[in-house]
Structure 1
Amino acid sequence: MAELSDIDKIRKKRRRKVLLGRILLLVALTLLGVGLYAIKDEVSTIGFTDYIQERIAGMGAGDGYPMEFAGEQVRQTARVGEHLAVLTDSNLYLYNSSGKEIRNVQHKYSNPVMRASGRRVLIYDRGGKHLRVENMLRTVAQKELDYPIYAGAISSRGEVAVATGAQRRLGEMTVYDHMLADPAKYVWKSAENYITDLEFDLDGKGIAVAVVNAREGDLISGVRRFRFDSEEEAGRQEFVGELIHSLNAARGGLTVVTDRQTAVLGASGEVLERYDYGYEALASFDHSENGDTALLFGDARENKNSAVTLLGPDGKKLWETQISSHADRLSLGKTRVCLMVDGQLQSYDYAGNALDPQPVPGEVLAATVIGRDAYLVTPDAIEKLALE
Structure 2
Amino acid sequence: MAENGRRFDTAEFDPAGQVPRRQRKEPRVFGEHAVPRWVYRIVLILILCVAGTLGWMNRDNLTPANALEWIQARVVGMGVGDGYPHSIAGTSVLPKNFVSADKNVYFASDTSLTVMNSTAKELVSRQHSFSDPVLRLGGNRMLLYNLGGRGCQLESMNRTVKKISVDQNIIAGALARQGEYALLTEADGYCGELTVYTADGREQFHYWFSDYYPTAVALDPDGTRAAVTGVNVANGVMKSAVYLLDLSSAKAQPPLAVYDGNMIFDVSWNGDSAVTAFGDQAAVIVNADSKAKTEYGYGAMQLTAYCSCESMTALGFSSYSGSSDSAFVVLDRSGKKILSQQLQGAIRSVSMYGSAAAALCGSKVSFYTTSPVGAAGTCDAGNDAKAVAMKDETSAYVLGVSEIRLVSVR
Q: Does 1:135 align with 2:135?
A: no
In the superposition, the TM-score normalised over structure 2's length comes to 0.84
Q: Which residue of 2 aligns with 1:263?
A: 284
Which letter maps to 1:272? K
SS of the aligned residue for 1:97 comes to coil
Distance in 1 separating the partners of 2:297 and 2:38: 62
Which letter maps to 1:170? C
- Pairwise CA distance, 1:26: 6.2
Q: 1:263 touches 1:271 (CA, 8 Å); kept in 2?
A: no
Equivalent positions of 1:264-279 (< 5 A) are 264-267=285-288, 270-279=291-300
Q: Which residue of 1 aligns with 2:25?
A: 10
Distance in 2 separating the partners of 1:55 and 1:126: 30
Which structure 1 residue ranges, 5 or more long, are not aligned? 1-5
Q: What do residues 69-96 of structure 1 show as CA deviations (whole Å, max 9, x unaligned)?
A: 2111112201233311011111111000
Q: Which residue of 2 aligns with 1:190?
A: 209
Q: What do residues 224-258 of structure 1 show as CA deviations (whole Å, max 9, x unaligned)?
A: 11112222328611111111132121245212221
Q: Which of residues 195, 198, 205 is equivalent to 1:177?
A: 198
- Pairwise CA distance, 1:68: 2.1
Q: Which residue of 2 aligns with 1:99?
A: 120
Q: 2:350 touches 2:387 (CA, 8 Å); kept in 1?
A: no
Q: Does 1:38 align with 2:57?
A: yes
Distance in 1 separating the partners of 2:139 and 2:45: 29
Equivalent positions of 1:230-241 (< 5 A) are 230-232=249-251, 233=253, 236-241=256-261
Q: Which residue of 1 aligns with 2:32?
A: none
- Pairwise CA distance, 1:113: 0.6
Are the structure 2 counterparts of residues 352 and 268 from structure 1 closer, same or farther at C-alpha, using a change threshold of 3 Å? closer
Distance in 2 separating the partners of 1:45 and 1:293: 33
Q: Does 1:374 align with 2:369?
A: no
Which letter maps to 1:118? G
Q: Which of residues 213, 225, 232 is equivalent to 1:206?
A: 225
Which structure 2 residue ranges, 5 or more long, are not aligned? 1-20, 29-34
SS of the aligned residue for 2:211 comes to coil
Equivalent positions of 1:1-388 (< 5 A) are 9-10=24-25, 28-29=47-48, 31-44=50-63, 46-75=65-94, 76-181=97-202, 184-232=203-251, 233=253, 236-251=256-271, 253-267=274-288, 270-288=291-309, 290-299=310-319, 302=322, 304-350=324-370, 351-372=372-393, 373-387=395-409
- Pairwise CA distance, 1:368: 0.8
In the superposition, the TM-score normalised over structure 1's length comes to 0.89
Distance in 2 separating the partners of 1:267 and 1:342: 36
Which letter maps to 1:293? T
Which letter maps to 2:391? I
Which letter maps to 2:111? S
SS of the aligned residue for 1:52 comes to helix
SS of the aligned residue for 2:301 comes to coil
RMSD (Å), alpha carbons: 2.7
Distance in 2 separating the partners of 1:269 and 1:214: 29
Aligned-residue sequence identity (percent) comes to 26
Which letter maps to 2:191? L
Distance in 2 separating the partners of 1:53 and 1:202: 21
Are the structure 2 counterparts of residues 318 and 237 from structure 1 closer, same or farther at C-alpha, using a change threshold of 3 Å? same
Q: What do residues 108-130 of structure 1 show as CA deviations (whole Å, max 9, x unaligned)?
A: 10111111112211110011001
Are the structure 2 counterparts of residues 42 and 287 from structure 1 closer, same or farther at C-alpha, using a change threshold of 3 Å? same
- Pairwise CA distance, 1:365: 2.3
Q: 1:343 touches 1:360 (CA, 8 Å); kept in 2?
A: yes
SS of the aligned residue for 1:298 comes to strand
Tell me the number of residue pairs that the alignment of Structure 1 and Structure 2 aligns: 379
Distance in 2 separating the partners of 1:60 and 1:353: 36
Moved more, 96-105 or 20-29: 20-29
Which letter maps to 2:307? D
SS of the aligned residue for 2:295 comes to strand
Moved more, 323-332 or 167-176: 323-332
- Pairwise CA distance, 1:260: 1.6
Q: 2:377 touches 2:409 (CA, 8 Å); kept in 1?
A: no
Moved more, 229-238 or 172-181: 229-238
More helix by share: 1
Distance in 2 separating the partners of 1:73 and 1:99: 18
- Pairwise CA distance, 1:300: 7.9
Q: Which residue of 1 aligns with 2:15?
A: none
Q: 2:66 touches 2:178 (CA, 8 Å); kept in 1?
A: no
